[in-house]
């Protein structure tokens, strides 16, 4: 196997593949990426057996077809540190040689035939989604998953596919994020309702690997895994075990709620200011809505007090609720500062609901004032 590659282009795709490979594994071969060179092009593959990626490597010229295993850490170091514009990669069945005009490296290499196969996308039934929407759905939900439950339902994002839409939902039991947007089944036979819990790490990989916002994606849900395909990348992930909570029950009845329209930028600034004096022991910020303003107040035993006022267009009854500013900040930071959203409130014991006009909703459970 022998090929020449553009170092910068190879570095870009190799960094994405490297994020899949495990840093430690009882199977050392997984700490490599497989480069497969054919007359049709060059494909880079990596997997930890739960998540896998196939990504086309552009900027390559194949001189001799074949496969080679590249050790993640060392080859990534070569790509980052070499000053050569082009590198040649050659495997002779024993060692891998990598060289350019001013550098040369010899690397040990395992047998590429022993590397687990990362299959190409061959699903007949799938949903078509825009990359722009899918990346936005990932960004607006993954932060709400439970990082302590990586192998169970709360450690992933629930994808619901039905009709002409996809809904992504994530929750850690204290807040819930939901994004809905357009999608279309590839055929009438594949338009039935489907649901899958995709691991957070896989969703983050999909977001990182998708760079062309103008193209469409193919998303296929199988019995035990999910497949996502763009024009140059295929990602598979094994589904998370467990039963996802009945997330629709989390939303309180809206007919008894007061609605407050807020602009992201000024409100986010007020939240950050109020949070300065909070701590792990006393996390809550009191939000008092009424009389054309919202007042944010926080106090810590040793950290002092904060009192922030922000004028708002609200003249309804006074509502006081205590919220964790970290959870509010997670919601606000994924929105544009100039964007507006609606905050639905009832009382100090009922969940607060934030909604935008583009299908995004976010539920935050209030804190008891005695524990805030």
Same fold yes or no, 2-114 and 127-247: yes
Position 280 scores a pLDDT of 84
Residue 174 has what DSSP assignment?
S
Is residue 83 within 8 Å of 34, Cβ to Cβ?
no
> HSE-up of 18 (CA within 13 Å, CB side)?
16
Position 191 scores a pLDDT of 61
Is domain 127-247 classified as CATH 3.10.150.10? yes
Percent of the chain with pLDDT over 90: 83
Is residue 198 within 8 Å of 157, Cβ to Cβ?
yes
Position 189 scores a pLDDT of 66
Say what the pTM is: 0.91
Q: What is the 3-state secondary structure (H, E, C) of 181-226?
A: EECEECCHHHCCCEEEEEEHHHHHHHHHHCCCCCCEEEEEECCCEE
Q: What is the largest CA-CA distance in the chain?
A: 77
**Domain residue extents for the chain:** 2-114, 127-247, 251-371
180-194 per-position pLDDT tens digit: 999 998 877 656 789
Q: Which of 177, 173, 168 is nearest to 206 (CA)?
A: 168
Position 276 scores a pLDDT of 93
Position 89 scores a pLDDT of 97
Percent of the chain with pLDDT over 70: 97
Position 28 scores a pLDDT of 92
- The span from the CA of 87 to the CA of 3, in Å, is 8
28-66 per-position pLDDT tens digit: 999 999 999 999 999 999 999 999 999 999 999 999 999
Tell me the DSSP string of 17-81.
Answer: HHTTS-SS-SSGGGGEEEEEEETTEEEEEEE-SSEEEEEE--SEEEEE-EEEEEEHHHHHHHHHH
The domain 2-114 is classified under which CATH number: 3.20.80.10, 3.40.220.10, 3.10.150.10, 3.30.70.890? 3.10.150.10
Position 301 scores a pLDDT of 67
Instruction: Give me the architecture of the 251-371 domain, per CATH.
Output: Roll (3.10)
Which residues of the chain register pLDDT less than 50?
A: 371-372
72-101 per-position pLDDT tens digit: 999 999 999 999 999 999 998 889 999 999
Position 193 scores a pLDDT of 86
Position 81 scores a pLDDT of 96
């Amino acid at each position: 196997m022998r090929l020449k590659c553009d170092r910068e282009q190879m570095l870009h795709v190799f960094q994405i593949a490297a994020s899949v490979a495990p840093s430690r594994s009882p199977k050392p071969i997984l700490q490599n990426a497989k480069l497969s060179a054919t007359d049709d092009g060059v494909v880079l593959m990596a997997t930890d057996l739960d998540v896998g990626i196939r990504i086309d490597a552009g900027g390559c010229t194949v001189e001799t077809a074949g496969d080679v295993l590249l050790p993640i850490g060392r080859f990534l170091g070569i790509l980052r540190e070499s000053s050569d514009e082009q590198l040649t990669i050659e495997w002779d069945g024993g060692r891998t040689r990598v060289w350019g005009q001013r550098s040369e490296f010899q690397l040990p290499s395992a047998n590429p035939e022993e590397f687990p196969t990362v299959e190409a996308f061959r699903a007949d039934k799938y949903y078509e989604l825009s990359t722009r929407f899918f990346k936005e759905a990932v960004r607006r939900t993954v932060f709400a998953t439970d990082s302590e439950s990586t192998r169970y339902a709360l450690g992933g994002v629930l994808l619901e596919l039905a009709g002409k839409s996809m809904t992504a939902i994530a929750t850690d039991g204290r807040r819930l994020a939901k994004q809905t947007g357009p999608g279309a089944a590839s055929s009438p036979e594949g338009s039935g309702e489907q649901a899958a819990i995709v691991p957070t790490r896989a969703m983050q990989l999909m977001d990182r690997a998708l760079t062309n916002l103008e193209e469409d994606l193919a998303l296929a849900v199988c019995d035990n895994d999910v497949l996502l395909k763009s024009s140059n990348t295929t990602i598979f992930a094994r589904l998370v075990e467990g039963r996802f909570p009945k997330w629709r029950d989390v939303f309180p009845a809206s007919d008894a709620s007061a609605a407050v329209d807020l602009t992201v930028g000024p409100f986010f600034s007020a939240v950050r200011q109020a949070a300065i004096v909070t701590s792990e022991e006393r996390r809550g910020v009191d939000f008092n809505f009424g009389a054309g303003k919202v007042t944010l107040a926080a106090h810590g035993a040793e950290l002092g007090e904060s009192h922030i006022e922000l004028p708002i267009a609200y003249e309804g009854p006074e509502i006081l609720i205590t919220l964790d500013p970290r959870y509010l900040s997670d919601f606000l930071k994924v929105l544009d500062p100039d964007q507006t959203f609606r905050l639905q409130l009832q009382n100090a014991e009922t969940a607060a609901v934030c909604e935008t006009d583009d299908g995004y909703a976010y539920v935050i459970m209030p804190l008891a004032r005695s524990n805030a």
